[in-house]
């Protein structure tokens, strides 16, 4: 099964749903950019995280490992927001090679892995890719492997 295609299909479904029920999904005033799929803003070589589902809301780009998100910011336009315990969707746009996969952890310093993103993969909601405990709004560090 091609998960990338499946994820894209689900993303399209979600987008169609958003067009049908905009008032439900856009309950609060947000900048227009918050509603865009920001995968195209994730440059080659980066692991990108987004605070909202569907690669929306607020993007942070990481070239290397990060042991603690407490000092990291994501950007929605020019406004920085905290990343720690807020990540909901991700895109591993790392260069193929080694290391090129991502391990994401619930706690700082790479403690308790909660999801794994192979090179080139993207998850519109991390909760669909983790175990019994919630992963949404939990990540606090990541490592390339």
Which residue lies nearer to Ca ion by CB, 99 or 108? 108
Considering the complex, what minimum distance in angstroms separates the CB of residue 48 from Ca ion?
Answer: 14
- For Ca ion, the binding residues (CB under 5 A) are 51, 85-86, 88, 137-138, 140
Which residue lies nearer to Ca ion by CB, 70 or 95? 70
Considering the complex, what minimum distance in angstroms separates the CB of residue 101 from Ca ion?
Answer: 20
Could you tell me if 60 and 139 are in contact, meaning their C-beta atoms sit under 8 angstroms apart? no
| Dihedral angle sign, alpha carbons of residues 111, 112, 114, 117 | positive
Separation of alpha carbons 138 and 10, rounded Å: 23
Considering the complex, what minimum distance in angstroms separates the CB of residue 69 from Ca ion?
Answer: 8
Which residue lies nearer to Ca ion by CB, 82 or 120? 82
Cβ neighbours around 40 below 10 Å, total: 9
């Amino acid at each position: 099964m091609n998960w990338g295609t499946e994820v894209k299909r689900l993303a399209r479904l979600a987008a169609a749903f958003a067009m049908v029920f905009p008032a439900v999904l856009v309950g609060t005033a947000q900048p227009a950019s918050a509603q865009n799929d920001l995968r195209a803003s994730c440059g080659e070589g980066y692991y990108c995280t987004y605070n909202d589902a569907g690669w929306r809301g607020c993007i942070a780009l990481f070239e290397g490992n990060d042991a603690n998100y407490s000092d990291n910011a994501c950007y929605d336009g020019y406004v920085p927001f905290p990343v720690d315990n807020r990540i909901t969707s991700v895109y591993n746009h790392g260069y193929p090679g080694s290391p090129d996969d991502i391990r994401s952890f619930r706690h700082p310093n790479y403690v308790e892995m909660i999801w794994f993103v192979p090179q080139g993969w993207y998850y519109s909601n991390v909760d669909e890719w983790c175990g019994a405990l919630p992963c949404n709004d939990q990540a606090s560090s990541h490592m390339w492997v």
